[in-house]
Amino acid sequence: MTTAVHKVRSHYDEVAEVYDHRYDANRGKFYYNNISHHVMERFQKGGRLLDLGCGTGLFVRHYVNEGGEAVGIDISRGMIGKASDKCGSSDFTIGTAEVLPFRDGSFDAVSSLLSFSYLKHPEKTLAETYRVLRPGGSIAICTLGINLFTRGLPAIYHISEAMNLKKACFGAFGERYYSVEEMEQLLYEAGFIEVHGKRCSFAHYNLARPIYDIAKKIEPFVERNIPYLAYNICASGRKTFEEGTESPKKLEI
């Protein structure tokens, strides 16, 4: 295991409880529900999902509540423990997204929410994702995008780490923030078709209360008309069908 991976795993083992509370209550819950909606709309209802970097199982729970079944994978034992408590009917495993312990064509859908930026070799993860998807299966990724606000995050992370602010869920892990074009290119190069990317989520939970309230009200307008100001990128694609098989109805986005 590399030093960077060990560092990320240790961090999230320590903050699993804080992470779960932050994204499952109040402003954090609104923020997470919004990005979950953007990911969920890229999938057909039902089917079997693999959630990469599943954290405490928040999106797994969302997907199951929509009528599907789901499996989660994460490098953090602490996160997996919380996910298992939250979603007892789903399976969770500790592992890395770059080498998935699943057979070819095991899933109808693959998701990744707020974990893609940690990957040092995203092309390996996408190749593995393509392998474990069934023909016609879909992938949807929500990750922090590069913009005016996220450009300053590395400096904030280093300051918080120096101050030992673990409870703030801050760390310095060499994350990479993408543009929409970069995410789309990664998916195309992995072999996906019907690739689509867009920005979402202007009302980030870390905003101060008065600013957050304003951001929440204008979020739909920002997402439609000033997308560069949105924090996240949601990118999706579909695995090709084998020759001679019938393609399902195209998902309208």
For the stretch 179-211, pLDDT in tens is: 999 999 999 999 999 999 999 998 887 788 888
**What DSSP line would sit under the chain, residue for residue?**
--HHHHHHHHHHHHHHHHHHHHHSSHHHHHHHHHHHHHHHTTS-SSSEEEEET-TTSHHHHHHHHTT-EEEEEES-HHHHHHHHHH-TTSEEEE--TTS--S-TT-EEEEEEES-GGG-S-HHHHHHHHHHHEEEEEEEEEEEEBPSTTGGGHHHHHHHHHHTT-GGGT--------B-HHHHHHHHHHTT-EEEEEEEE--S-TTS-HHHHHHHHHHHHHHHHH-GGG-SEEEEEEEPPPPTTSPP-PPPP-
Is residue 70 within 8 A of residue 50, CB to CB? The reply is yes
Is the domain 3-238 a CATH 3.40.50.150 member?
yes
Q: Could you tell me the pTM of the whole model?
A: 0.86
Q: pLDDT for 132-156, tens place per residue?
A: 999 999 999 999 888 766 665 555 5
Pick the more confident residue, 45 or 163: 45
What is the pLDDT, as a whole number, of residue 26? 86
Alpha-carbon distance of 242 to 227, in angstroms, equals 36
The answer to whether the CB of 28 falls within 8 A of the CB of 205 is: yes
Confidence of residue 253 (pLDDT cuts 50, 70, 90): very low
Please report, as a single letter, which amino acid is at residue 141: I
Distance CA 140, CA 43 (A): 8
Predicted confidence (pLDDT) at residue 160 exceeds the cutoff of 80? no
Residue 251 scores a pLDDT above 60: no
pLDDT for 252 = 40
